[in-house]
Amino acid sequence: MRTVYLTGGTGFLGSHFIRNHLLGGSFDVQCFVRGPSPEACALRLDETLREVDASYPDRRVRGLDALTAIPSDITLPAFGLEEAFFAARAGRADATFFHFASSLQYQEKDRQVIHDHNIGGLRHAVDVAAALGCGVFYYVSTAFTVGVHEGPVPEALHHDARFNNYYEETKCQAEHLITELCRERGISLVIVRPSIVIGPSATRRPGGSRTGLYGFIRELHRLKRQLRHTDAPLSLYGSTESEMNVVPVDFVCYDIFSLYRDSVSEGVYHCTAGQNVRVQGLTELILKHLELTGVTFRSFREFDEATASALERVLLRNTAFYASSTAGTKLFQRRRGPGWPMDLDEVERYVIEGVRGLNGADAAARQPPGLRKQRPVARRTA
């Protein structure tokens, strides 16, 4: 049985990775989870995996007893773990470390938190991996470490990049830092870079993600409520000329797992779709499915502070993150074969599910409390 250490198992990518590839008995999966006790962490992990399982057509969450939840915080030295923890686990053969945990905040006001997680947390992760005798470290980065660059993006470290926000900046710094730290420690390093990750391809449901495409849909859904009492036309501004790369989470997880399965132990790899989609087309689909008929998507270049309405200015501010991460078309290169096939018709199905999820949540919130569906209480199987 191979031992896998993993951070971020309660998050979007980490939970799908565990659910799709690590359950079933071949792996001893040791998860670093935030929480006050092993029981509380195990419960949260189980609940997350059961929720994730519901976004697939075939239910397969079993073998949860192969998971161990270790209360820990990546922002603390040694994740806050005692010496005895490391002593008890030293010398396990074949151990590999997967580092999914990160801060996905991006605003200037959150600089310290972002730094503590994406730089400090990474240093601690390497210390922990070294103390546990892990031979290979898989670092989950992002395709957006290339920053504002447009055009072909190689599977290599980026130098002299300029960034849209501090999240991108720290993730790029982290790639350089981890390369250095792993070299010093004699640990092999694989850097994986997903693009904008959407739900699983089999159902196209959000699968637990609240960021990226779903964050943008949520922002426009909020706008819909604000527009309830007006039919005045409104402009949404963005990168009308650009293309963006969106990729299903199950493909990303498969991409990462196949590197591990094939014993790949070094290099930078894009976990991306084979084709980009037009930002204009995708935004118009979201507006259509949200029934925001009075909203027109226009280029940033047309924005005029003097004539824009107060709501248009607020909307521009609230969607700035999505607009910046889709500004400028990036063509992600992949040396391990073509990426996931993707076009606008296919992305539309994810949009429909994303909108359905929000409308469903609205309908549930409108029901009297007694009629609301109870969340099943997750049970530890071990």
Ligand X SMILES: NC(=O)c1ccc[n+]([C@@H]2O[C@H](COP(=O)([O-])OP(=O)(O)OC[C@H]3O[C@@H](n4cnc5c(N)ncnc54)[C@H](OP(=O)(O)O)[C@@H]3O)[C@@H](O)[C@H]2O)c1
Contact residues for ligand X, defined by CB under 6 A: 7-8, 10-14, 34, 73-75, 100-102, 104, 117, 140, 142, 171, 194, 196-197, 209, 211-212
Least distance (Å) from ligand X to the CB of residue 34?
4
Q: How far is CA 352 from CA 26, 290, 359, in A?
A: 36, 9, 10
Least distance (Å) from ligand X to the CB of residue 247?
9
DSSP 241-277: T-EE-EEEHHHHHHHHHHHHHTT--SEEEEE-BSS-E
Are the CB atoms for 299 and 240 separated by under 8 Å? yes
Burial 262-288 (b: 16+ CB within 10 A, else e): eeebeebbbbbbebbbbbbbbbbbbbe
**End-to-end Cα separation, the chain, in angstroms:** 18
- Cα 258 to Cα 265: distance, rounded to the nearest angstrom: 12
The alpha carbon of 167 is separated from its chain's Cα centroid by a whole number of angstroms, namely 12
Report the largest interatomic distance among the alpha carbons of the chain, rounded to a whole angstrom.
Answer: 67
Least distance (Å) from ligand X to the CB of residue 141?
7
Number of residue whose CB is nearest ligand X:
11
Residue type, 326: T
Look at strands 267-271 and 246-248 and give their pairing. unpaired
Nearer to ligand X, 141 or 242 (CB): 141
Q: Residue 109: which residues within 8 A CB-CB, separation 6 or more?
A: none
- Cα 353 to Cα 199: distance, rounded to the nearest angstrom: 9
Task: Give the residue among 73, 267, 81, 90 at the shortest CA–CA distance from 178.
Answer: 267
Least distance (Å) from ligand X to the CB of residue 78?
12
Least distance (Å) from ligand X to the CB of residue 369?
26
Nearer to ligand X, 27 or 144 (CB): 144
Least distance (Å) from ligand X to the CB of residue 144?
7
- Cα 25 to Cα 135: distance, rounded to the nearest angstrom: 21
Neighbouring-strand partners of residue 152: 331
Residue 124: how many CB atoms within 10 A of its CB?
25
DSSP H or E segment with residue 108: none
Nearer to ligand X, 224 or 336 (CB): 336
Nearer to ligand X, 118 or 283 (CB): 118
Nearer to ligand X, 20 or 142 (CB): 142
Nearer to ligand X, 200 or 234 (CB): 200
Nearer to ligand X, 308 or 320 (CB): 320
Burial 366-378 (b: 16+ CB within 10 A, else e): eeeeeeeeeeeeb
Least distance (Å) from ligand X to the CB of residue 7?
6
Nearer to ligand X, 12 or 56 (CB): 12
The alpha carbon of 261 is separated from its chain's Cα centroid by a whole number of angstroms, namely 22
Least distance (Å) from ligand X to the CB of residue 32?
6
Least distance (Å) from ligand X to the CB of residue 161?
16
Tell me if residue 380 falls in helix, strand or coil: coil
Nearer to ligand X, 6 or 234 (CB): 6
Nearer to ligand X, 249 or 358 (CB): 249
Least distance (Å) from ligand X to the CB of residue 230?
33
What letter would DSSP give residue 373?
P
